Amino acid sequence: MIAGVDEVGRGPLVGPVVAAAVILDPNRRIHGLDDSKKLSAAKREALSEQIKQQAVAYQIISISAAEVDRLNILQATYQAMRLALAGLSPAPTHAFIDGNRVPPGLDIPAQAIVKGDQLKASISAASIIAKVARDQWCFEYHGRHPQYGFDQHKGYPTALHLQRLREYGPTPEHRRSFKPVAQLALL
């Protein structure tokens, strides 16, 4: 009962940070799992559905931009990971965490694995479903604020996003504690 845990959305200027935890079924192997950043959007979406159907358990947690601002991005990421693990049923007995740190306050033994989304199938699965969930949020938010281009840059600080941010100002979901957004308040 080992869970893989990963997050997406630490770098964007807008929207939630999303973490997922997945316990894979060792008797139902899923082919094609990899770091979500290495897969096409279509492949990620297909794998996300397969993971959700075949996993023993999975949980996706989003921590809002307001909470990111309140807690800071690292603590918000840890909170999302803790909640994702706590939400699994059945409960895991161990966790593999992508990265170089284990979130404090876990109730089970855990191991941080650098580049874990390339090394452990369960972390790859968590990476994929978290990325698909956050991308879906970006597409939906784009529908409400199409002038920002969230469907293209997914909230990351690209030249287009920064230009639109200067042009239109921050939306309610922009992270006020992130420097490019905070600097606009000083203008």
pLDDT in tens, 134-165: 999 999 999 999 999 999 999 999 999 999 99
Give domain 2-186's CATH number out of 3.30.360.10, 3.40.50.300, 3.30.420.10, 1.10.10.10.
3.30.420.10
Beta-bridge partners for 98: 113
Comparing C-alpha atoms, which of 67, 57, 58, 87 is closest to residue 173?
67
CB 150 within 8 A of CB 139: yes
pLDDT in tens, 8-48: 999 999 999 999 999 999 999 999 998 888 999 999 999 99
Distance from C-alpha of 140 to C-alpha of 153, rounded to nearest angstrom: 13
Whole-structure pTM value: 0.95
Domain spans in the chain, listed from the N-terminal domain onward:
2-186
- DSSP tag of 60: E
> Angle, to 10 degrees, between the axis of helix 179-186 and the axis of helix 159-168?
30
